[in-house]
Amino acid sequence: MYQVHKYIYTLIILFVLGNQVILFGQLIYTHHFSELLLEAHLDYYKPLEEWYHVSPKVKDDYMEYDLVLVNEENDREIRYYIKPYADDELDQIPHVSMMRLMHHIATNDENAEIKVKILDQKLLQERYQADWGMCQYFIPKKSYSDKPFGALISLYAEGKSTAYAVFLYRDIEYDPLENFVFLRYRE
């Protein structure tokens, strides 16, 4: 009888710990970022397939980021910038704001290409609950990052916010858009 109880208690503990791991996937890192997500009508989900830690670097020569995550094992970085809706004209045309940001962070080398992918409506609704989205693959300015590749993913929901995630990485085979499910608008 003692063995059965021990077995049941072990299963209960494993179940609780297993659910804790799932809950940790939705942790929010800073009070500022938590408040910003509420204002922007966004939920944030921590990347679970890789280990990222918060970097204290939240400002560079181009902009101030709301959260910077670093993965040293794979030499990757994610910089988040969230802009809650403020009822000015630029808030209603997110592609213009995205292009302005891209001009600041992408290299000016005339041989460098910027590849643009407009996200389709089905993906936007199912994965992000967003009205508009775009991904741009680029080569970062040397003064912006030591990583040779970057991707800027922008999401927009009318009347809520615009969210930017800048991915910086070394592996050319890595595609941040494939698994980017870290931000989702609330209904």
Q: Which band of pLDDT confidence, cut at 50, 70 and 90, is reported for residue 27?
A: very low
Q: Which CATH number does 29-185 carry?
A: 3.40.1000
The pairing of beta strand 132-138 with beta strand 161-169:
unpaired
pTM above 0.85, yes or no: no
3-21 pLDDT, tens digit each: 555 555 554 444 443 433 3
pLDDT of residue 5: 52
Compute the residue count for the chain: 187
Alpha-carbon span 137 to 113, nearest angstrom: 8
Mean pLDDT of 145-158: 94
Alpha-carbon span 133 to 177, nearest angstrom: 11
